[in-house]
Structure 1
Amino acid sequence: MATCPHLASANVRPPRPNESVYREDCTVCFDSAEDPAGLDVCLHCFNGGCAGERIHSRLHAQHFQHPLAVNIQRTRKRKQRDDSEPPEKMSKLEIKAESDEDRWDTKTDVKCFECGVDGLAKEGKVGETVQGIIKANTFAQQEEVKAWELELQICEHTAFLEQEPAREIPSGDLGHCNQCDLKENLWLCLTCGNLGCGRRQFGGIGGNNHGLEHKDANGHWVAVKLGSLTAEGNADIYCYKCDEERKDPKLVEHLLNWGINIADRVKTEKSLGEMQLEHNLTYEFNMTDADGKQLKPMFGPELTGLKNLGNTCYLASVVQSLFAMPEFKKRYHRPDEPLPPIDKPAEDLEVQLRKLADGLLSGRYSKPDSAVQPSQNSDEKPHQRGLAPAMLKHLVGRGHPEFSTNHQQDSFELLLHLLKLISRSQQSARGQYQDVTDPVEAFRFWMEQRLQCLQCKKVRYRQDEMENISVAVPIKRLPKSEDTKMTTNGDKDEKDEAPQFEPVTLKQCLDDFTAPEIVDLSCSGCGNKGFTKQSLFKSLPTVLAVNARRFEIVGWVPTKQDVPVIVGDEVFDMEAYRSKGKQPGEEELPEDQEAGAGASNKFVPNEMALDMLMSMGFPRVRCEKALNATGNSDAEVAAGWLFEHMEDPDIDTPLDAGNGGAAGGSAGAVDPEKIENLGNMGFSAPQARQALKETGGDMERAVDWLFSHPDATGDFGDDEATATNGTDGDAPAKIEIEDTKPAKFSLSSIVCHKGSSIHAGHYVAFIKKKEGWVLFNDEKVALGGDVEEMKKFAYIYFFRRQRV
């Protein structure tokens, strides 16, 4: 057994429960413990470094004087049971985690980098530290636990549930729905004891909505799914008022009220969390062509898949699209530029983006999964294992109320959030790396808004910098006779019960987006009411990101509708949507005049979104405040904001009540230094001002507010005042924006979604490569697929400007 002087003096200890242990893959590349050289885990700080040709572990040891490491090599065990054999019978439905011992044969070897020896004795503190590293949850496992466990909360309806007088329900009455013969998917009303069937669920579980009808008729909001009850106190509890799964802190007591002893219950059905998990991990996006043949797996540079960590397809689809763009390739794929020494590389966004770029673009990890055996009589190679972007997901979600959770998220909101994070990171990166250019600049462009008084015809122009557009898709149902087919026995075919919609073109969506509209403003120049407002492109970006919103309110619930949008591969000309600026003969409204107390100052709600919100029963003041806080375009997002802010003390205070139009904000002036500090993080001055007003000037809370309100329009009030009341009294010079290049674009990639809600279902990306359109479906990368069909239903379209 080899020895070295560092063993006796080693200041090492086992990892604590709250410390991250990086023993699966290297923190600066995706080389892992499964590679022939294995992975070296530092005994001093638990950083994981590859032991192969890249020698990241050796570089870490030299930079930080951490000489001792344990080398871990893992080989996958052969399966004891063939996949074709039927699974073992389960006595209880549960998600059983497969342990490392079940999956891997593991070898460990302690080495000293300073002495250049390995085979060191695993004794004393060193031995205890090695055992602690092997037994500890890895960083990836910690993140997976968060992704697999549903984070439930108590709401006021479960916390203060009032029950009717106690009585015991006969066991026979608990065997089926009170209104039909269904014997599963049964929900017990905790208020009155009614037992009704639920909604139809994933996996073919039936439901006739009798539980829903009961809550509508009686206003009883909280129900528990009987089949999910366990003796340990676990259960599915749903609050229909919140329309969310919740916790009931007094579940045992509430069940006893109806004579149900939870200690006697045996779980007979999968929980909602288990079904959602199963749905996400087994969701079979169409991996066949029009002839039913399996799509051809693709391997090589720029053709690497990403493993789904449970609910991360929304992240994978977006980053695959971004790293297919030349700007992101050039910025982050730097194989010949070494990384500087960083104490915690797993917590550094620059490092993790460089790591992801290397993993996706190098081709180093794009190879068939040797653990997956293709079916007999098949010449096809299995798909890839995929890279697990656990470290990047942690950084992207850190501190964010949505992206830090396990839930499926909106891929478009993730795109906005990620672009902001990347822009913020550029300032610090410029001091460490060469040739740093912000890749997000490719998305930026200027919109010009034109207001014209209907009476005196005077105009006002305003420019706003943007990084994307979100267009509403017109929704028009086809007649019922055209979308309902009958089966041979005269019943409705379930596949055809879903409504069919009239197709629209992308041009129609852009026509609507840029069309003039009438807004209810008073002109201080002539005193009359009414303006036309129109927004057109003052400049056009290199990459145009278009979010297609196919949502309508159905039964007060925002529902995604599958409206086909016709988008071809041909070049699309945006010239018709370009602003020509102030025209000869137009007279501008003076800068010191304000249309209706400030055409730019006073918030003007989107009339269509406002009408939709008010039709739900919300007061106008609340609707205006919600639209002001969320971007003034999307009724669905604004409705979500309203539900979250119902209890705000100023929810019914009008927007213009002493604060110049900032929702819920302070009437006082905002500290310019704080605006500048937020500007250095990548936020615009209007956004920073609104966030500071919303949070009483608290910088930390303002940052959190900005990330949770990515579509906020911002507060332009003080900008106008500053511009008008300059020291020299002259009108400020407008920003000169010059863009005369051709406005021709072609589709380069799409992010597609299957499912009725953006917070459920499955996301994939189709990216145009030299080989053709390539499907990126988590770890699966394949040529072709139903791309022409999916183009019609994409959620995000990325268009690239054509070079002259």
Structure 2
Amino acid sequence: MACVHAGATDLRPPGPTQDVYREDCTQCFDSIDDEAGLNVCLHCFNGGCAGDRNHGLLHFQRFGHALALNIRRTPKKVQRDEPPQKMSKLAIAAETDEDRYNVATSVICYACPGENVDKNTGNIPVIIDGVMNAMSFTKREEVKAWEQEFVPCEHTLCLVQADTGDAGTKDLNQCSACDLKENLWICLECGNIACGRNQHGGARGNSHALAHADYTSHAVAVKLGSISVEGTADIYCYRCNEERTDPELANHLAHWGIHLAGRTKTEKSLMEMQVEHNMQWEFSMTSEDGRELLPIYGPGLTGLANLGNSCYLSSVMQCVFSTPAFQSRYYDPDGQPPPCQTPAQDLETQMRKLADGLLSGRYSRPDSRVAMSMASSEASSPIHQKGLLPAMFKHLIGKGHPEFKTMRQQDAFEFLLHLFKNVSLSKHLDGRANPVENFRFQVEQRLQCLVCEKVRYKVDVQDNISIAVPARRIAEVEGKFEAVQFSECLDIFTAKEVVELTCPACQSAAGFSKQTKFKTLPQELAVNARRFELVNWVPTKLDIPVIVSDDPIDMVSYLAGQHDPNEELLPEVEEVVSFSPNSEALNQLLAMGFPVTRCEKALHATGNSDAEAAMTWLFSHMEDPDIDEPMVLDQKSGSQSSAGQDESQIAQLGEMGIEPSRAQKALAATNGDVERAVDWVFTHPDDGDEAMGNDGNAEVAQTYGPVGYDTVPARYQLRSIVCHKGTSVHAGHYVAFIRKTRASDQSSSWVLFNDEKVVECDKVDDMKQTAYLYFLTRV
């Protein structure tokens, strides 16, 4: 008997913008490449695995969607790929599957087990055609070919050029401000010739073109050596701080006596230099004796394939899921996925999927396709994993974020903060703990007037620290720096400094002594090492070795300790009438690309002292919900009335484990913004609430308990590191090194996670010295 469901008239093919999950399961990493294949729901186009886990059947049981298209893909026998062509543009070429795989399809009905479903019934042929020809979710969101595109701006479109004057006598071969004869740029507005920025690994420069733009406010310049007869060239708008295009480039150049006819491109373009530069940042995959490191497999040893520029995400997630808190929270091998009709859009589901993929060992195996191609050749290179494609997770975690939603390389530390924020804002039901709590601790800031010696204490909750690495150049070797002990960086972080503030008690303007120490310490400590300095107003990464021991680090000396009972506290100031930021520090922060509102907030929070302290604060508060809101100085936080609050908002915060009284105060302090309210709760653990009465705070303290540990011993050992190679955190390459325990003898070794490549390594010391993120665990 034929299936009665196949002729349903409400079945429709996917729309042009509808997501079709036809590559891997939305609830695990089983895919169309597995023997059982993948079942794509013909009602909502969810992808469910058809093997032993059978999430396709679970989807039917939960939502009653009976019909599914089973897709199975098997590799064709092909010779091993030729070496890839040299990359010459910022693009990822989209591969076609037709020459690589055989694809088989069939229609099944979960409601009619055992019945054959004719693929020619009703609308089925049209729907199958729609599914197979639709752009898959992965292609649509992550892996589709992309290329950095440049567009005109108002400054190129509305360019006004000065009179030519002596244009014919201009020397186009030398900077007007120095002796450089390369990396020259012409200002399209006035015809000035000046050198560009120093290009790492490329042409030298003294930034005279930038200085000219700053002095004259002229926006558009063209790199002379990049001009080709076809009319292409590097065009930079200093006002937009972006590379642009100019539809009238030929005419604008001719105005200054430069004609495209006969022009020959003599220098690499900015794009070519960036691509070539990024390709240089490879991490060694060989041992100290020159042997290629062999891949290893097993639970907790699964790699993540690179989606184009996703190594920042992969390295952070490998380190995060090496912690017991994240493992116990999201890895549930015997549990069912949460009931959700759109699992690809559910953070809980995608975090569980990623945890299962990385930790179960189910997908930690040699790439069968490479093994097949090697079997037909004489090659004997190690066979690495295929790696899991974290496309669904990347799309979801980056959704709505101006940077993480793109395919561009990003800062791994900023991504860690973004991840922590989203995990904290998500629901943690069924008694499941927020794993970010294991990273949280309290820092205590102590201010003491240099004249009257009265003090003030302020306690903040953080889930990371950003430490400055001092740069001490070795005079006889260019680009080399003295090694710095990790403990010295912590000493600097907790050292006393003098800040310029007026004392509210004695009215002295002599300043304050400020010191920040740990009031408590977390179970897991995330540390960002800042190795940057301003070179021609551009933040440039420095290769400063930081020595971190394998032995536990004693953190007791960095704890704040008990307050002196005899010291006198400064009076509370109800109002701050105005704030004038340190102009020099503000200009330095603005030159680094931080928005003015963030800069002013950072300077205000750090005593208006210097750019370095403010930058440390900025890195620690990148993901604050109100980071971009104007600073309000004429009222105290929490002074608003809690009357008239939305009960649904209080209930929403209650689902996150926040008591109603606490939720009321948080919403009052943040003008009813739920995201900011959650952040307020975590950053004000000891804040009292006069409206609640004296017992309210005791209830909160009992509910949440202390943040972190104030007990000794306080010893921390390095668990994992995120390493970065490149001159900017927004370029180059990230990898992770994680300390793993061998099941055989309980000894530990370091494992390198380089995208999909997972190998045991024996020379981690160099990597520890140049790490960007350190994850230490309390032992």
Q: If the length of structure 2 is used for normalisation, what is the TM-score?
A: 0.80
- 1:565: which partner in 2? 546
CA contact (8 A) 1:686 1:714 kept: no
- 1:763: which partner in 2? 734
Which one-letter code corresponds to 1:394 in the other structure?
H
- 1:5: which partner in 2? 4
Task: Give the Cα–Cα distance (whole angstroms) in 1 for the partners of residues 87 and 729 of structure 2.
Answer: 35
Per-residue deviation, 1:185: 8.6
Task: Give the Cα–Cα distance (whole angstroms) in 2 for the partners of residues 548 and 729 of structure 1.
Answer: 42
Decide which moves more: 235-244 or 437-446: 235-244
| Partner SS state of residue 371, structure 1 | helix
Task: Give the Cα–Cα distance (whole angstroms) in 2 for the partners of residues 273 and 213 of structure 1.
Answer: 21
| Partner SS state of residue 140, structure 1 | helix
- 2:776: which partner in 1? 799
1:601-616 alignment to 2 at 5 Å?
Answer: 612-613=588-589
CA contact (8 A) 2:183 2:205 kept: no
Task: Give the Cα–Cα distance (whole angstroms) in 2 for the partners of residues 631 and 713 of structure 1.
Answer: 24
CA contact (8 A) 2:69 2:108 kept: yes
* Structure 2 counterpart of 1:114, from 94, 111, 118: 111
| Partner SS state of residue 330, structure 1 | helix
1:141 and 2:139 aligned = yes
- 1:624: which partner in 2? 600
Task: Give the Cα–Cα distance (whole angstroms) in 2 for the partners of residues 396 and 147 of structure 1.
Answer: 21
Decide which moves more: 318-327 or 281-290: 281-290
Cα displacement string for residues 657-701 of structure 1 (whole angstroms, at most 9, x for unaligned residues): x63489xxx99889894897997779999999999999xx5849x
* Structure 2 counterpart of 1:452, from 429, 435, 448: 448
Task: Give the Cα–Cα distance (whole angstroms) in 1 for the partners of residues 284 and 274 of structure 2.
Answer: 19
Cα displacement string for residues 540-566 of structure 1 (whole angstroms, at most 9, x for unaligned residues): 110011111111111111111111111
Task: Give the Cα–Cα distance (whole angstroms) in 1 for the partners of residues 41 and 164 of structure 2.
Answer: 60
CA contact (8 A) 1:185 1:225 kept: yes
- 1:126: which partner in 2? 124
CA contact (8 A) 1:225 1:235 kept: yes
1:27-176 alignment to 2 at 5 Å?
Answer: 27-79=26-78, 82-83=81-82, 96-116=93-113, 117-118=115-116, 120-122=118-120, 124-144=122-142, 148-150=146-148, 155-164=153-162
CA contact (8 A) 2:26 2:46 kept: yes
Decide which moves more: 531-540 or 624-633: 624-633
Per-residue deviation, 1:304: 0.4
| Partner SS state of residue 9, structure 1 | coil
1:414-433 alignment to 2 at 5 Å?
Answer: 414-425=415-426, 428-430=427-429
CA contact (8 A) 1:289 1:295 kept: yes
Task: Give the Cα–Cα distance (whole angstroms) in 2 for the partners of residues 326 and 630 of structure 1.
Answer: 34
- 1:245: which partner in 2? 243
CA separation of 1:145/1:13 partners in 2, compared to 1, >3 Å: closer, same or farther?
Answer: same
| Partner SS state of residue 100, structure 1 | coil
CA separation of 1:535/1:380 partners in 2, compared to 1, >3 Å: closer, same or farther?
Answer: same
Task: Give the Cα–Cα distance (whole angstroms) in 1 for the partners of residues 591 and 27 of structure 2.
Answer: 52
- 2:536: which partner in 1? 555
Cα displacement string for residues 596-620 of structure 1 (whole angstroms, at most 9, x for unaligned residues): 967xx99897999569559999999
* Structure 2 counterpart of 1:502, from 455, 478, 482: 482
Task: Give the Cα–Cα distance (whole angstroms) in 2 for the partners of residues 89 and 105 of structure 1.
Answer: 29
Which one-letter code corresponds to 2:437 in the other structure?
E
CA contact (8 A) 1:287 1:785 kept: no
- 2:562: which partner in 1? 581
Which one-letter code corresponds to 2:554 in the other structure?
D
CA contact (8 A) 2:90 2:147 kept: no
| Partner SS state of residue 141, structure 2 | helix
CA separation of 1:713/1:540 partners in 2, compared to 1, >3 Å: closer, same or farther?
Answer: same
Decide which moves more: 61-70 or 344-353: 61-70
| Partner SS state of residue 500, structure 2 | strand
* Structure 2 counterpart of 1:659, from 622, 626, 634: 634
Cα displacement string for residues 466-512 of structure 1 (whole angstroms, at most 9, x for unaligned residues): 11111111112121x2x14xxxxxxxxxxxxxx11121111111111
Which one-letter code corresponds to 1:745 in the other structure?
Y
| Alignment coverage as a number of residue pairs | 743
Give the gaps of 5 or more residues in structure 1: 485-498, 643-652
- 1:292: which partner in 2? 290
Give the gaps of 5 or more residues in structure 2: 619-628, 743-748
Which one-letter code corresponds to 1:97 in the other structure?
A
* Structure 1 counterpart of 2:303, from 279, 302, 305: 305
* Structure 2 counterpart of 1:474, from 470, 476, 480: 470
| Partner SS state of residue 328, structure 2 | helix
Aligned identity (percent) is 51
Per-residue deviation, 1:536: 1.6
CA separation of 1:323/1:617 partners in 2, compared to 1, >3 Å: closer, same or farther?
Answer: closer
CA contact (8 A) 2:537 2:588 kept: no
CA separation of 1:507/1:418 partners in 2, compared to 1, >3 Å: closer, same or farther?
Answer: same
Which one-letter code corresponds to 2:769 in the other structure?
K
CA contact (8 A) 1:687 1:714 kept: no
Which one-letter code corresponds to 1:750 in the other structure?
I
Task: Give the Cα–Cα distance (whole angstroms) in 2 for the partners of residues 338 and 615 of structure 1.
Answer: 50
CA separation of 1:698/1:149 partners in 2, compared to 1, >3 Å: closer, same or farther?
Answer: farther
Which one-letter code corresponds to 2:761 in the other structure?
G
Per-residue deviation, 1:740: 1.9
1:774 and 2:751 aligned = yes
1:633-782 alignment to 2 at 5 Å?
Answer: 635=611, 659-660=634-635, 673=645, 699=673, 739-771=710-742, 772-782=749-759
Per-residue deviation, 1:371: 2.4
Task: Give the Cα–Cα distance (whole angstroms) in 1 for the partners of residues 332 and 697 of structure 2.
Answer: 47
Per-residue deviation, 1:788: 0.2
CA separation of 1:528/1:800 partners in 2, compared to 1, >3 Å: closer, same or farther?
Answer: same
Task: Give the Cα–Cα distance (whole angstroms) in 2 for the partners of residues 617 and 119 of structure 1.
Answer: 60
Per-residue deviation, 1:157: 3.2
CA separation of 1:344/1:635 partners in 2, compared to 1, >3 Å: closer, same or farther?
Answer: farther
- 1:384: which partner in 2? 385
Per-residue deviation, 1:520: 2.8
1:512 and 2:499 aligned = no
Task: Give the Cα–Cα distance (whole angstroms) in 2 for the partners of residues 228 and 129 of structure 1.
Answer: 50
1:272-351 alignment to 2 at 5 Å?
Answer: 283-351=281-349
Per-residue deviation, 1:242: 3.9
Task: Give the Cα–Cα distance (whole angstroms) in 2 for the partners of residues 729 and 328 of structure 1.
Answer: 34
Task: Give the Cα–Cα distance (whole angstroms) in 2 for the partners of residues 391 and 559 of structure 1.
Answer: 33
Per-residue deviation, 1:222: 2.6
| Partner SS state of residue 8, structure 1 | coil
Task: Give the Cα–Cα distance (whole angstroms) in 2 for the partners of residues 535 and 729 of structure 1.
Answer: 30
CA separation of 1:225/1:785 partners in 2, compared to 1, >3 Å: closer, same or farther?
Answer: farther
CA separation of 1:40/1:619 partners in 2, compared to 1, >3 Å: closer, same or farther?
Answer: closer
CA contact (8 A) 2:36 2:51 kept: yes
- 1:546: which partner in 2? 527
CA separation of 1:759/1:654 partners in 2, compared to 1, >3 Å: closer, same or farther?
Answer: closer
Per-residue deviation, 1:343: 0.5
* Structure 2 counterpart of 1:536, from 517, 525, 542: 517
CA separation of 1:396/1:254 partners in 2, compared to 1, >3 Å: closer, same or farther?
Answer: farther
Per-residue deviation, 1:391: 0.7
Q: If the length of structure 1 is used for normalisation, what is the TM-score?
A: 0.78
